[in-house]
Structure 1
Amino acid sequence: MARRKPNIEELLNRLGYRFGKPELLDEALTHVSAPQAAGQSYQRLEFLGDRVLGLAIAELLFKTFPGAPEGELSRRLAELVRRESCAEIAIAWDVGPYLKLGAGEAHSGERRNQTILADVCEAIIGAVFLDGGYEAASALVERAFQPLLAAPRRPLRDPKSALQEWAQGRGLPPPTYSVVEQTGPDHAPKFRVVVKVQGTDNEFGVGTSKRIAEQAAARSLLLREAVWTEEEHGTA
């Protein structure tokens, strides 16, 4: 059965954007190996789109998390602009069938190559920026990345590190941890740990190792002080 030629209208619908200069989208979909590239591959648009994406995500994070400190915003930014996230967006847009590749690349499965998909994601953002300006590109980024914004796949930081940063930001000494109780047999112990931060009430955590108990104690203090929320960080 002959393969159905991809309909560019379907891609445009998924992007939610109409190009005044369709040649920009064509360039964004053209790999350097394609015969028709002739020096007009997506590489320059990718360079531009990478910068536009960073600014648009930074602006979106700034508005979405008004109480977040700079360190958290930076970690969220790094999570969202990483190659894997951009490739995921390109997959959601289903850009693979529209890529213009050299014969060798097309036959070796490069339409599913994570690096190429991530590059094309950024190139499309760059193309929208050139075609419709920053507002159009920012709107595209917000539509595409909003689901990832709400639920990052990797922990932004562990509770102990977050608590130490919080204490440091308030000019306080680092938190201290002490084992207050150890129960259970040697092969299956349970530890109860207290964490102390100057100027706050102590908090406790329980775990099957000192490290786990310390993380649990730090997390409890962060939640109690409203530095973290249950909605954002889930259950322990």
Structure 2
Amino acid sequence: MKPNFPHRFRNEGLYEQALTHRSAARLNNERLEFLGDSLVNMLVAEMLYETHPRADEGVLTRLRAQLVRGSTLAEIARELDLGDALVLGSGELKSGGFRRDSILADALEALIAATYLDAGWQACRDVVRTLYASRIATLGVSEKDPKTRLQEFLQANGLPLPQYELVASTGEDHAKLFDVECVVADPALRLPGHGTSRRAAEQMAAEAALNEIKGILRA
């Protein structure tokens, strides 16, 4: 059964490759997934830039991370019934690979890349905008930034406050990139963040740490 994907492919070979997991064939969707990951990040960033004109870089980075993470991509893939169309090796079939978030997310990104190769930039842009329209429209922007929310969450649970360590800064002065880590003592975690400013990188790391800690405490 074909998924409800919003693009009709002229090149059926690209379509089939996008849905083929590496466990099933040498010609699989890994390279397409690599390209699709960048396309999704760029096009979701464009949508957020348009729809949140007052949001700063830190907020936009956090929102994009929320929208392009594997669990969100897998949710979209399920809405499209992508799992039923995947081509998997026997081992992945037996272990339920068609339900796994990582496999579904990779296949969706591969289909987006295949759309770009099949019909060009505008077709790819239209597909991503269609897939994300409802999520962008209902996306709430928290007044508190991730560092503040992480601090308040840790305090409320009697846990020590985080530290932020600069790991690296690269590039020319006008185009620097910063890598930081949010270090939490309990539970013991080191979560990375990246950004074009140290503040933006710290906010991304704090968001990742908050999500990780909430998941640990729920388990």
Query: Shared fold (TM-score greater than 0.5)?
Result: yes
Question: 1:43, 1:123 within 8 Å by CA — same for their partners in 2?
Answer: yes
Instruction: Tell me the SS of whatever aligns to 1:67.
Output: coil
Structure 1, 113-122 or 62-71: larger mean CA deviation: 62-71
Per the TM alignment, residue 66 of structure 1 is displaced from its structure 2 partner at its CA by 1.8
Q: Which has the higher contact order (CA 8 A, sep 6+)?
A: 2
Q: Distance in 2 between matches of 1:151 and 1:75?
A: 15
Letter paired with 2:21 = H
**Which consecutive unaligned segments of at least 5 residues does structure 2 have?**
150-219
Q: Distance in 2 between matches of 1:145 and 1:43?
A: 23
Task: Choose 1 or 2 for highest CA Rg.
Answer: 1
CA distance 1:108–1:59, shift in 2 (3 Å) = same
Letter paired with 2:6 = G
Q: Describe the superposition over 1:176-196 as per-residue Cα deviations: whole angstroms up to 9, x where unpaired.
A: xxxxxxxxxxxxxxxxxxxxx
Per the TM alignment, residue 157 of structure 1 is displaced from its structure 2 partner at its CA by 6.3
**Which consecutive unaligned segments of at least 5 residues does structure 1 have?**
1-5, 164-236
Per the TM alignment, residue 22 of structure 1 is displaced from its structure 2 partner at its CA by 1.2
User: Are 2:92 and 1:105 aligned?
Assistant: yes
Q: Distance in 1 between matches of 2:86 and 2:27?
A: 14
Give the match for residue 20 of structure 2. 30
Give the match for residue 69 of structure 1. 56
For 2:116, which of 112, 123, 129 is the aligned residue?
A: 129
For 1:48, which of 14, 20, 35 is the aligned residue?
A: 35
Give the match for residue 158 of structure 1. 144
Aligned-pair RMSD on alpha carbons?
A: 2.1
Q: Distance in 2 between matches of 1:151 and 1:58?
A: 16
Report the TM-score, using the length of structure 2 for normalisation.
Answer: 0.63
Q: Describe the superposition over 1:104-140 as per-residue Cα deviations: whole angstroms up to 9, x where unpaired.
A: 2112111101110111111111110111111111111
Q: Distance in 1 between matches of 2:146 and 2:13?
A: 51
Q: Describe the superposition over 1:156-184 as per-residue Cα deviations: whole angstroms up to 9, x where unpaired.
A: 56369679xxxxxxxxxxxxxxxxxxxxx
Instruction: Tell me the SS of whatever aligns to 2:60.
Output: helix
Q: Describe the superposition over 1:2-41 as per-residue Cα deviations: whole angstroms up to 9, x where unpaired.
A: xxxx2x3xx2xx222111111111000001111xx2x211
> Identity of aligned pairs, percent?
40
Give the match for residue 211 of structure 1. none
Q: Distance in 1 between matches of 2:112 and 2:145?
A: 35
CA distance 1:149–1:83, shift in 2 (3 Å) = same
CA distance 1:159–1:32, shift in 2 (3 Å) = closer
Number of residue-to-residue matches in the alignment: 149
Q: Distance in 2 between matches of 1:116 and 1:140?
A: 20
4+ aligned runs moved over 6 Å, structure 1: none
Q: Distance in 1 between matches of 2:147 and 2:90?
A: 49
Q: Distance in 1 between matches of 2:72 and 2:146?
A: 26
Q: Distance in 2 between matches of 1:80 and 1:151?
A: 12
Per the TM alignment, residue 73 of structure 1 is displaced from its structure 2 partner at its CA by 1.0
Q: Describe the superposition over 1:61-96 as per-residue Cα deviations: whole angstroms up to 9, x where unpaired.
A: 111112222221111111111111111111111111
Q: Distance in 2 between matches of 1:42 and 1:120?
A: 7
User: Are 2:135 and 1:148 aligned?
Assistant: yes
Q: Distance in 1 between matches of 2:89 and 2:104?
A: 15
CA distance 1:130–1:65, shift in 2 (3 Å) = same
